[in-house]
């Protein structure tokens, strides 16, 4: 063991207290005990003698350690220190003064509290510092002028407040600055002339105020900009056109006005793939300019804005759209036929509007529709709830085999529930409540083995509730206010005669009259989806925005 250089016992199930003295050979430079059940304190005797002071990489993440001892500062050769996801609450004062070789320091997901030690200014070779998801408070120490090699600084999800230090706002080396989800309360005063390497800026979910300053347009290397959920105001300045490298922009809930001007400016970003503008432009008319071009856009969210008007034609030019959220507006009319161009959509939320029709055709529909997507973690979803859709539910819905969530709640749908819905094999949520559906619940729905949420409440259904499968797990509230239903978790069945099932002649205008003819020839995979808040997103549906850049 004298020549052992690497000790890696990570990702096991070891559960014991680390001994006070580890018998480490002088040749060991790499120690990884992460992802176990180890507990106790670290550092007091870890680098007690010269034989163990040669450790360059120490990873003790994802355990149950509870205390960092002053002795850790004796590990003067350390270059990489990762103690992520433990129970640490404090750091000894001055612990970093002797650890000047540190290049990567990851302290995230612990319970550290109090102010950030000014001693980090001694870490002259530091390249990455991550202290996110702790309980640090106070203002940031003004020591970033000493950290001339620092490229990535992440301090999100803490309780920092006040203004950002001058040395941070003038750092020429920082490429990624992530301070979202704190309580910073100051205008945005970045010196983009000095921060020439800044690529990614996350200041969302703070208390920053003032206008979106023109000086941000000097950060020409910016690829990601998240200012969502702050107390900003005004409108996007014309100078924003200079941010040619921008691919992700989150400005949700920033009191923006003038949607038409905003889109006119943002269309100059040829690489823009993610655009989050929700909870702004309250009550404005949605622009119908057909010449807006967002050809690279994959994620679009302009929800909770009370926008008025028809579905805008410029959306049809977003051929790569994958995630679309226009919920909680006052949009009306029929969705344009051109929606069949969206081959890659997997998430579509048009809920809480006044749409009356949705023509859907098979031409050009890609087989990848409603597949899980690697951009964001939302399941394939079609949410048309709280609209004014009428007619019957088309049997062709059953062809949406990759769909995980179908929500048609609170519309004006009539007729029976199609047997073919059992073809949606991956369905996890099916909500048909608060319509005027009649007939029986199809027995075939018990075949939906992943179905965990189901509701047909407040309809005109009758007959016995299917038994078996997931139907054994649904509460009685899933079936309430259907006077003819019985069995299962609901009321016991009687011998009363079931009402006559009316077979309505009208087709479900959610997809328009022509849809039925095209479907018969062998189609349907469909409608679907674009993105957040603020890096955004979670809600209220705020949950949506937390996942999608707050």
Locate the domains of the chain by residue range.
390-508
Degrees, nearest 5: CA angle 128-201-195: 75
Q: Is 457 exposed, middle or buried (0-12, 13-18, 19+ CB in 10 A)?
A: buried
- State the residue for tokens 């087989």: 367
CA dist., res. 243 & res. 122, Å (int): 35
The CA distances from residue 42 to 28, 89, 126, in Å, are 17, 13, 22
pLDDT 10s digit of each residue in the chain, 550 long? 567 899 999 999 899 888 766 667 778 899 999 999 999 888 777 777 655 578 999 999 999 999 998 888 888 999 999 999 999 999 998 899 889 999 999 999 999 999 999 999 999 999 999 999 999 999 999 999 999 999 999 999 999 999 999 999 999 999 999 999 999 999 998 999 999 999 999 999 999 999 887 778 889 999 999 999 999 999 999 999 999 999 999 999 999 999 999 999 999 999 999 999 999 999 999 998 878 999 999 999 999 999 999 999 999 899 899 999 999 999 999 888 777 778 899 999 999 999 998 765 333 334 346 666 655 678 999 999 999 999 898 887 888 889 999 999 999 999 999 999 999 999 999 999 999 999 999 999 999 999 999 999 999 999 999 999 999 999 999 999 998 999 988 888 865 445 555 444 444 444 433 333 333 333 333 333 333 333 333 333 444 544 444 4
**404-415: buried (b, 16+ CB within 10 Å) or exposed (e) per residue?**
bbbbbbbbebbb
The DSSP element (H or E) to which 517 belongs, if any, is: helix 515-520
CA dist., res. 38 & res. 189, Å (int): 44
CA dist., res. 432 & res. 278, Å (int): 27
At 412, give phi and psi (nearest 5°): -125, 40
CA dist., res. 275 & res. 299, Å (int): 6
CA dist., res. 538 & res. 522, Å (int): 36
The DSSP element (H or E) to which 168 belongs, if any, is: helix 166-169
Token representation of residue 343: 């081959």
- State the residue for tokens 């509870």: 66
CA dist., res. 10 & res. 35, Å (int): 6
**123-162: buried (b, 16+ CB within 10 Å) or exposed (e) per residue?**
beebbbbbbbbbebeeebbebbeebeebbbbbbbbbebbe
CATH of domain 390-508: 3.80.10.10
User: Are 357 and 366 a contacting pair, CB within 8 Å?
Assistant: no
Three-state DSSP class for 514?
Answer: coil
Q: Is 437 exposed, middle or buried (0-12, 13-18, 19+ CB in 10 A)?
A: buried
Q: Give the number of other Cβ atoms within 10 Å of residue 215's Cβ.
A: 15
pLDDT value of residue 122: 95
pLDDT value of residue 74: 86
Q: Is 422 exposed, middle or buried (0-12, 13-18, 19+ CB in 10 A)?
A: middle
**32-62: buried (b, 16+ CB within 10 Å) or exposed (e) per residue?**
bbbbbebeebbbbbbbbeeebbbbbbbbbbb
pLDDT value of residue 376: 67
CA dist., res. 408 & res. 86, Å (int): 44
Enumerate residues 6+ apart whose C-beta is below 8 A from 543: none
DSSP letter at 235? -
Q: What are the DSSP calls for 403-435, one per residue? A: --EEE--SSEEEEPPPGGGGG-TT--EEE--SS
The DSSP element (H or E) to which 176 belongs, if any, is: strand 176-178
Token representation of residue 252: 């949700």
User: Are 472 and 494 a contacting pair, CB within 8 Å?
Assistant: no
pLDDT value of residue 359: 65
- State the residue for tokens 């655009």: 275
pTM across the whole model: 0.87
pLDDT value of residue 100: 92
**300-314: buried (b, 16+ CB within 10 Å) or exposed (e) per residue?**
bbbbbbebeeebbeb
- State the residue for tokens 């031409």: 363
């Amino acid at each position: 063991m004298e020549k052992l250089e690497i000790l890696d016992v990570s990702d096991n199930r070891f559960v014991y207290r680390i001994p006070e003295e580890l018998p480490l050979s002088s040749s060991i430079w790499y120690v990884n005990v992460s992802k176990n059940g180890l507990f106790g304190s670290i550092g007091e005797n870890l680098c007690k003698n010269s034989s163990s002071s040669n450790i360059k990489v120490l990873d003790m993440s994802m355990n149950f350690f509870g205390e960092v001892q002053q002795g850790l500062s004796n590990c003067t050769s350390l270059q990489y220190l990762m103690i992520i996801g433990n129970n640490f609450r404090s750091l000894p004062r001055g612990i970093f003064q002797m650890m000047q070789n540190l290049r990567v320091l990851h302290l995230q997901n612990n319970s550290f509290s109090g102010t950030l030690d000014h001693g980090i200014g001694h870490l002259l070779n530091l390249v990455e510092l991550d202290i996110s998801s702790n309980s640090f408070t106070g203002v940031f120490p003004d020591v970033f002028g000493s950290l001339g090699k620092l490229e990535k600084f992440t301090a999100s999800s803490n309780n920092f407040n006040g203004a950002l230090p001058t040395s941070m706002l003038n750092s020429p080396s920082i490429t990624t600055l992530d301070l979202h989800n704190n309580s910073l309360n100051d205008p945005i005063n970045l010196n983009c002339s000095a921060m020439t390497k800044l690529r990614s800026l996350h200041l969302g979910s703070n208390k920053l105020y003032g206008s979106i300053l023109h000086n941000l347009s000097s950060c020409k290397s910016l690829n990601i900009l998240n200012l969502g959920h702050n107390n900003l105001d005004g409108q996007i300045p014309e100078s924003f056109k200079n941010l040619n490298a921008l691919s992700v922009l989150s400005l949700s809930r920033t009191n923006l006005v003038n949607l038409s001007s905003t889109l006119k400016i943002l269309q100059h970003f040829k690489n823009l793939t993610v655009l989050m503008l929700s909870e702004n432009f309250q009550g404005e008319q949605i622009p119908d300019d057909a010449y807006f071009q967002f050809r690279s856009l994959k994620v679009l969210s302009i929800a909770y804005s009370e926008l008025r008007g028809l579905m805008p034609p410029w959306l049809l030019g977003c051929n790569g759209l994958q995630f679309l959220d226009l919920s909680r507006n006052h949009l009306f009319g029929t969705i344009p036929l051109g929606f069949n161009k969206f081959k890659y959509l997997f998430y579509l939320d048009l809920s809480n509007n006044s749409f009356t029709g949705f023509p859907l055709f098979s031409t050009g529909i890609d087989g990848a529709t409603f597949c899980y997507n690697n951009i964001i973690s939302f399941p394939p979803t079609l949410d048309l709830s709280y609209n004014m859709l009428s007619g019957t539910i088309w049997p062709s819905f059953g062809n949406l085999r990759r769909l995980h969530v179908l929500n048609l709640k609170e519309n004006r749908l009539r007729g029976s529930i199609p047997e073919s819905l059992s073809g949606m094999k991956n369905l996890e949520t099916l909500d048909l409540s608060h319509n005027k559906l009649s007939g029986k619940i199809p027995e075939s729905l018990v075949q939906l083995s992943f179905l965990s949420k189901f509701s047909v409440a407040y309809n005109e259904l009758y007959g016995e509730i299917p038994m078996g499968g997931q139907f054994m797990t649904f509460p009685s509230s899933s079936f309430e206010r259907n006077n003819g239903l019985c069995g299962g978790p609901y009321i016991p069945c009687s011998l009363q005669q079931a009402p006559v099932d009316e077979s309505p002649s009208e087709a479900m205008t959610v997809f328009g009259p022509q849809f039925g003819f095209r479907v018969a020839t062998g189609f349907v995979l469909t409608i679907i989806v674009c993105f957040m808040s603020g890096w955004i997103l979670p809600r209220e549906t705020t949950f949506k925005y937390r996942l999608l850049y707050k």
